[in-house]
Amino acid sequence: MKSPWHEGVNLPSFPKLQGDTKTDVLIIGGGIAGLLTAYFLKEKGIDYILVEKDKICSGVTGNTTAKITYQHSLIFDKLIKNYGSDKARLYYEANRQALEKFREMSKDIDCDFETKQNFVYSQGNMKKLEKELQAAQSIGVPMKYVKTVPLPINSIGAVMCENQAQFHPLKFLSTIADGLNIYENTFVKEVHGNIAVTDKGTITAEKIVVATHFPFIDTHGSYFMKMYQSRSYVLALEGAEKSDGMYIDENDKGLSFRNYGELLLLGGGSHRTGKKGGGYIELRAFKEKHYPTAKERYHWAAQDPITLDGAPYIGHYSKRTHDMYVMTGFNKWGMTGAMCAAMILSDMLQGKNSIYEEAFSPHRSMIKPQLFLNGAETALNFLTPTKKRCSHLGCALKWNSAEKSWDCPCHGSRFNENGRVLDGPANKDIK
């Protein structure tokens, strides 16, 4: 089932690219990150083309919970420990500017933009909340502790940020995309240097931006090693008690809450793609216990690349590819992540230096505990005997009975019952 964002929204349509062409900048991927980048390049008068293998916003962008916030769970304590206060402050400032850019742009767009408080709550770890509050305050993040949250959970409190936001993503993007130089149903099969090969020709570009959610070019960057993918699930409930604000558990396995109109968006059930998790069963059990009279109007799932350290990869695709760029690994915070990426790369594509480049560099140290967990998962599934193998790197696929798909535990590629690729990094169907 699709999310409520698809109801009543007429996204603009674009033709399929036929034959060969040239451009200064090629953007591969028609989700929010690619569309915002194209929008900013158009504003700056830069020649560009955006290509999307399906329809724009047909992937994860249409399945978001659409929270716009710089409070990405308990991120600031982690960033300070990993990289120090200066880079943590840059991460905050970049995301704060992204939030304000959405606020500014939404003044002229009918997209249900609302200012909200954002809460990260805990059900049992006060020390984590105290450390995050201390870390945030040390770099100037306006955050405070609250004792209770209006949710049917046993919370010991939360850390909260004022003046965050939520909106209707497809209403916003339908306006942004109108008039952009886009080709839909244009599948980039491979990239050789500055030439992208499509199913109907080639695109020669001076610079290439890979905005495909999970990068599909494995010869550079090692993204298949430094990210894994996580699936999460959402129920849209009608008649559930409202909880004004946006809420998320500090525990990755916990729940999130936000309202959209008369609907409560209840999220959770997260698990590594290809592994077992709570999914819809967990959410529906919670709904029956705490909102027994509510009606389930929509349900949907999303998939997010998770980086080694919690920060996105934005910048040059690799140290050797000076004219290829990447935006990925938004760690379930794709709204501000996409805006940050578009703002940073639109500067870099003009040859300007961004003060935020270093904080989001894809080439920062990979020596993190998650790297070894990713490697172990890949080795285990690569050696698992099964007929169904991923077309990406050959890992064993697992059947996802809830969503009727074949999922890869290694890097998160997914295929439908007939073998058609649903999610990358796989770029080919399976038999």
Q: What is the mean pLDDT of residues 64-75?
A: 97
DSSP-derived pairing of the beta strands 201-210 and 324-328: parallel
Tell me the DSSP string of 242-306.
Answer: P--SEEEESSTTS-EEEEETTEEEEEEEEEETTS---HHHHHHHHHHHH-TT-EEEEEEEEEEEE
Q: Work out the pLDDT band at 419, boundaries 50, 70, 90.
A: confident
The rounded distance, in Å, linking the Cα atoms of 66 and 63 is 9
pTM reported for the whole predicted model: 0.94
Domains of the chain with bracketed CATH: 4-64+171-225+310-360 (3.50.50.60), 68-87+111-164+230-306 (3.30.9.10), 369-423 (2.102.10.10)
For residue 214, pLDDT beyond 90: yes
Q: What is the mean pLDDT of residues 56-81?
A: 95
- Flag the least confident range among 114-118, 133-137, 377-381: 377-381
Alpha helices in 190-239 (DSSP H): 223-226
Residue 317, token pair as written in the block: 């695709």
Q: What is the pLDDT of residue 1?
A: 67
Shortest CA distance to 68 belongs to which of 141, 164, 162?
164
Residues 266/257, Cβ–Cβ less than 8 Å: yes
Q: Work out the pLDDT band at 193, boundaries 50, 70, 90.
A: very high
Q: What is the mean pLDDT of residues 260-268?
A: 96
Residues 158/129, Cβ–Cβ less than 8 Å: yes
**pLDDT tens track for 383-404:** 777 778 888 888 888 888 888 8
Residue 204: other Cβ atoms inside 10 A: 13
The rounded distance, in Å, linking the Cα atoms of 344 and 28 is 17
The rounded distance, in Å, linking the Cα atoms of 331 and 307 is 7
